[in-house]
């Protein structure tokens, strides 16, 4: 992967075709399964996809107890392919072998062959199942065949965009492939400078990507592949119109990939409007993985910070993400814990890019025991070996809960999730 320093708008018609001929890919152990428990109800009558009002309370007991008591048999996934079987460039295969990649995850096993064929793909998979490699490996293969290929990858947060580029650099090291990250919260000047040169991969958040397009610095007229990563999260963050603008501007003669953990109605409409006969691959098993032990902690009048401090002082709580609801509350909690002699860092939307990256680096490197975070850390971040997730404040929705606890128990690892209740 090469890095270097120092691209007008192009409008095109709305992509037609819809999903009339869409193929539902649903065979073997990659098929979707019905969840073993219901979505919880919210006091006050809020439906799925709606943010609860201040008076509504997430009924944790409606799904936690069932998850803890689950006796559903865990099926061992047997992939149809090995990484060495995929029809990709030998240089990619060497990197995969050198890094110990042997057996693909379900989403990688099912999606990569279709992406390699040039088909549009909708990939539905639980968080932490390797969706990034599922699109990077086959798309990099396309770029290595034709270095004039240009790809746009849209992600909901700058952390995820940077993480995607980091993974790309691993796969493409020394292969003359160029990339630029276009995200807010970072100086735009450096991004403009890089966009003066050709980049095979443009990885960005929707807002900054559009900003650069409208300023005339990002020319998307030659883009041949578009990837929407964590599409449901981008929807939650209000990026749906930005995504539509970008997809309407990029040439229609392209390959489009959409990866998501859930399929909300707005995402379905997006797929119908912009993807052509997509192969839909669903490898979701249940919303919360078997690898995560879940339980509640009843506070019962005790001081919540004291209870949390007691947990974080235990030896096996060695890499913990603690979720709070507000930016101010997260800062306050981190300060209180540090005064108790614990090593913590905080992360939320008001922190600068440098502050957030510094906190993540310390947490990933084991220099702090706990990362105190708002839901900005609930999606997209790939942090290995998180031992516990603690919901210090209740999440607002069931989906928020699922994505929070999905930071632990990733891949083959086990994890524990605790939720504080009164």
Angle between helices 206-214 and 240-249 (to 10 degrees): 50
Mean pLDDT over each residue of the chain, to the nearest integer: 82
Q: Is residue 115 within 8 Å of 135, Cβ to Cβ?
A: yes
- In DSSP terms, 260 is beta-bridged to 124
Rounded to the nearest angstrom, the gap between the alpha carbon of residue 199 and the centroid of all alpha carbons in its chain is 23
Residue 340 confidence (pLDDT) above 50: yes
Distances (CA, A) of 72 to 26, 36, 61, 364: 21, 8, 19, 33
Rounded to the nearest angstrom, the gap between the alpha carbon of residue 34 and the centroid of all alpha carbons in its chain is 22
CA pair distance 414, 412, nearest whole angstrom: 7
Alpha helices in 322-390, H assignment, sequence order: 327-339, 353-364
- pLDDT score of 62: 53
CA angle, 10 then 15 then 21, to 5°: 160
CA pair distance 366, 343, nearest whole angstrom: 10
Of the candidates 146, 145, 45, 25, the residue with the CA atom closest to the CA atom of residue 87? 145
* pLDDT tens digits, 357-400: 889 889 988 899 999 998 877 765 667 789 999 999 998 877 78
Give me the sheet containing 223-229, strands edge to edge. 23-25, 279-282, 121-124, 255-260, 223-229, 150-154, 201-204, 179-182
Contacts of 306 (CB under 8 A, 6+ apart): none
Contacts of 417 (CB under 8 A, 6+ apart): 292, 293, 294, 295, 388, 389, 390, 391, 404, 405, 408, 409
- pLDDT score of 349: 78
What b/e sequence results for 180-215 when a residue is b if at least 16 CB atoms lie within 10 Å of its CB, and e otherwise?
bbbbbbbeeeebbebbeeebbbbbbbbebbbbbbee
CA pair distance 273, 254, nearest whole angstrom: 14
Q: Quickly count: other Cβ atoms within 10 Å of residue 281's Cβ.
A: 26
- pLDDT score of 1: 65
Ordered domains of the chain (ranges, CATH):
77-282 (3.40.50.300), 288-421 (3.40.50.300)
Residue 67 confidence (pLDDT) above 60: no
Read off φ and ψ for residue 181, nearest 5 degrees.
-105, 125
- pLDDT score of 354: 82
| Average pLDDT of span 308-336 | 93
- pLDDT score of 4: 53
Confidence of residue 276 (pLDDT cuts 50, 70, 90): very high
**Which of 126-135, 317-326, 407-416 is the least confident region?**
407-416
Confidence of residue 165 (pLDDT cuts 50, 70, 90): very high
CA pair distance 208, 318, nearest whole angstrom: 36
Query: Cα-atom radius of gyration of the chain, to the nearest Å?
Result: 21
* pLDDT tens digits, 24-38: 333 333 333 333 333
Q: Is residue 313 within 8 Å of 341, Cβ to Cβ?
A: no
Of the candidates 129, 35, 32, the residue with the CA atom closest to the CA atom of residue 398? 35
Q: Is residue 282 within 8 Å of 290, Cβ to Cβ?
A: no
CA pair distance 178, 192, nearest whole angstrom: 15
* pLDDT tens digits, 95-127: 999 988 888 989 999 999 999 999 999 999 876
Residue 13 confidence (pLDDT) above 50: no
Q: Which two tokens stand for residue 147?
A: 């270095």
| Average pLDDT of span 188-198 | 96
CA pair distance 180, 195, nearest whole angstrom: 7
């Amino acid at each position: 992967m090469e890095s270097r320093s120092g691209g007008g708008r192009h409008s095109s018609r709305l992509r037609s075709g819809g999903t009339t001929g869409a193929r539902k890919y649903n065979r073997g152990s990659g098929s979707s399964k019905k969840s073993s428990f219901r979505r919880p109800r919210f006091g006050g009558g809020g439906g799925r996809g709606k943010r609860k009002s201040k008076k509504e309370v997430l009924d944790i007991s409606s799904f936690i107890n069932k998850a803890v008591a689950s006796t559903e048999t865990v099926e061992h996934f047997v992939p149809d392919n090995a990484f060495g079987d995929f029809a990709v460039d030998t240089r990619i295969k060497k990197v995969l072998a050198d890094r110990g990649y042997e057996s693909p995850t379900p989403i990688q096993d099912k999606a990569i062959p279709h992406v390699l064929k040039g088909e549009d793909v909708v990939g539905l998979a639980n968080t932490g199942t390797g969706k990034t490699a599922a699109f990077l490996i086959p798309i990099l293969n396309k770029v290595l065949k034709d270095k004039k290929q240009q790809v746009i990858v849209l992600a909901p947060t700058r952390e995820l965009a940077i993480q995607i580029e980091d993974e790309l650099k691993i796969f493409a090291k020394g292969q003359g492939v160029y990339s630029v990250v276009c995200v807010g919260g970072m100086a735009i000047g450096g991004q403009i400078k890089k966009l003066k040169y050709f980049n095979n991969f443009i990885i960005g958040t929707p807002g900054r990507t559009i900003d650069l397009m409208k300023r005339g610095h990002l020319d998307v007229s030659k883009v041949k592949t578009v990837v929407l990563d964590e599409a449901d999260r981008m929807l939650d963050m209000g990026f749906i119109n930005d995504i539509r603008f970008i997809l309407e501007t990029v040439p229609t003669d392209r390959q489009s990939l959409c990866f998501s953990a859930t399929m909300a109605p707005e995402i379905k409409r997006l797929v119908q409007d912009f993807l052509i006969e997509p192969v839909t691959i669903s490898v979701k098993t249940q919303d919360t993985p078997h690898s995560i032990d879940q339980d509640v902690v009843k506070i019962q009048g005790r001081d919540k910070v004291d209870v949390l401090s007691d947990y974080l002082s235990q030896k096996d709580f060695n890499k913990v993400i603690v979720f709070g609801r507000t930016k101010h509350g997260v800062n306050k909690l981190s300060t209180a814990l540090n005064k108790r002699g614990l090593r913590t860092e905080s992360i939320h939307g008001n922190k600068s890019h440098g502050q957030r990256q510094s906190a993540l680096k310390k947490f990933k490197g084991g220099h702090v025991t706990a990362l105190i975070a708002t839901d900005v850390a609930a999606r997209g971040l790939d942090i290995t070996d998180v031992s516990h997730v603690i919901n210090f404040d209740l999440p607002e929705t069931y989906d928020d809960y699922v994505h929070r606890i999905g930071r632990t128990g990733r891949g083959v690892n086990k994890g524990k999730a605790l939720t504080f209740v009164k």
